[in-house]
Amino acid sequence: MANEVDQVNSGALATTIGLVAFATLAVALAVTALVRQEVSARHAQDDTQENDVRSLRAEQQATLTAGIAWVDQKSGIARLPIDQAMKLTVEKISHDPKMLSPAQDADAAIGAGGAGAESASPEDSSVTDTKAATQEQPAKQEESAE
The band of 112, judged by pLDDT with boundaries at 50, 70 and 90, is: low
Residue 126 has pLDDT above 80, yes or no: no
The percentage of the chain sitting over the pLDDT mark of 70, rounded to a whole number, equals 69
Distance CA(141)–CA(43), nearest Å, equals: 58
pTM score, two decimals?
0.35
Query: How much is the pLDDT for 108?
Result: 56
80 Cβ contact partners less than 8 Å away, ≥ 6 residues apart: 68, 88
Q: Which residue has the higher pLDDT, 112 or 142?
A: 112
Distance CA(10)–CA(12), nearest Å, equals: 5
**Alpha helices, DSSP H, located in 66-111:** 82-95, 106-111
E-assigned strand segments in the chain: 69-72, 77-79
Taking each helix axis as running N to C, give the angle between helix 82-95 and helix 10-65, from 0 to 180 degrees, rounded to the nearest 10.
Answer: 50
CB of 38 closer than 8 Å to CB of 46 = no
